[in-house]
Amino acid sequence: SQTIHQWPATLVQPVGSPLSLECTVEGTSNPNLYWYRQAAGRGLQLLFYSVGIGQISSEVPQNLSASRPQDRQFILSSKKLLLSDSGFYLCAWSVEFSKETQYFGPGTRLLVL
Amino acid sequence: AQSVTQPDIHITVSEGASLELRCNYSYGATPYLFWYVQSPGQGLQLLLKYFSGDTLVQGIKGFEAEFKRSQSSFNLRKPSVHWSDAAEYFCAAGTSGTYKYIFGTGTRLKVLA
């Protein structure tokens, strides 16, 4: 069966510091991968998605970037965090293109102080 | 523009009572529809999904949802709520040929003992 991991689970970082959040998927090959952000009291906002190694699509302009160095690894990064980057970050994966069901990881809670 | 609306931000029900969570969508064509549940501090778990066919969809944990094209709705129901159902529920929609889900802003369910 497939599993998705995210780490760290919780992170507290000062403004201006760098960020690296990692997501890995097990039990499947060539998954589509997604990064979402969930702000308090709001829905989920798609940040990035990837259909293959090195292929990243950005949905919203922002202070963040994403990379996919390996087939089942997806990394969310920032060079300098802003207060507004605080939130709950969720990674998700899916298999089929035409009938997408996305499966979510446990999330990383980021607090920027 | 495509959108998913969950009109109820909070809902409180007594344990054992029936539940209906509302979801309305606005899309050019019939989208794929999903309901997810999120426990505090956790990722999203898929409850059920609708792609086509039978408009009454059965999911996990005793939940079901009914797709009504004429009302552009996909409401989630459960005949008897358990205390463990207290969580936040998200409706989402997507279409064939796109990787993008649109999520509603969520409905937080509180269950009274």
Rounded CA separation A48/A34 (Å): 6
Q: Span A76-83, mean pLDDT?
A: 95
Give which of B30, B42, B101 to mutate to test A binding, by max A Cβ within 10 Å.
B101
Distance (Å, whole) CA A85 – CA A73: 22
How much is the average pLDDT of A70-98? Answer: 90
Dist CA A74 CA A98 (whole Å) = 22
- At B24, the pLDDT band (50, 70, 90 cuts) reads very high
Tokens describing residue A46: 């798609």
Domain count along chain B: 1
Task: Say if the Cβ atoms of B51 and A99 lie within 8 Å.
Answer: yes
- Averaged over B104-109, what is the pLDDT? 94
Question: Is the Cβ–Cβ distance between B83 and B113 less than 8 Å?
Answer: yes
| Residue in B closest to A93 by C-alpha | B99
pLDDT in tens, B87-99: 999 999 988 767 7
Size of interface A-B (CB pairs under 8 A): 55
**Tell me, what's the pLDDT at B27?**
86
* Structure confidence at residue A87 (pLDDT): 93
Residue A94 CB partners (closer than 8 Å, separation 6+): A31, A32, A34, A100, A101, A102, A103, B99
Domain CATH for B27: 2.60.40.10
Mean pLDDT of A21-48: 89
Residue-wise pLDDT for B33-86, tens only, equals 999 999 988 889 999 999 888 999 999 999 999 999 999 999 999 999 999 999
Task: Write out the residue range of the structural domain in which residue B36 sits.
Answer: 3-112
Query: Per CATH, which fold does A3-112 belong to?
Result: Immunoglobulin-like (2.60.40)
**Cβ pair B105:A43 closer than 8 A:** yes
Question: Is the pLDDT confidence value at A98 over 60?
Answer: no
Average pLDDT value over all residues in chain A: 91
Domain residue limits, chain A = 3-112
Q: Which of A15-24, A96-105, B40-49 has the highest mean pLDDT?
A: A15-24
pLDDT reading at B102 higher than 60 = yes
pLDDT of residue A96: 58
The pLDDT of residue B101 is above 60:
yes
Q: Cβ-count burial of A69 within 10 angstroms (0-12 exposed, 13-18 middle, 19+ buried)?
A: exposed
Q: Provide the residue type at B91 as one letter.
A: C
Cβ B100–A105 below 8 Å, yes or no? Answer: no
Place of tokens 């995210």: A6
For residue B44, the distance in angstroms to the closest alpha carbon of chain A comes to: 6
CA distance A6 to chain B (A): 10
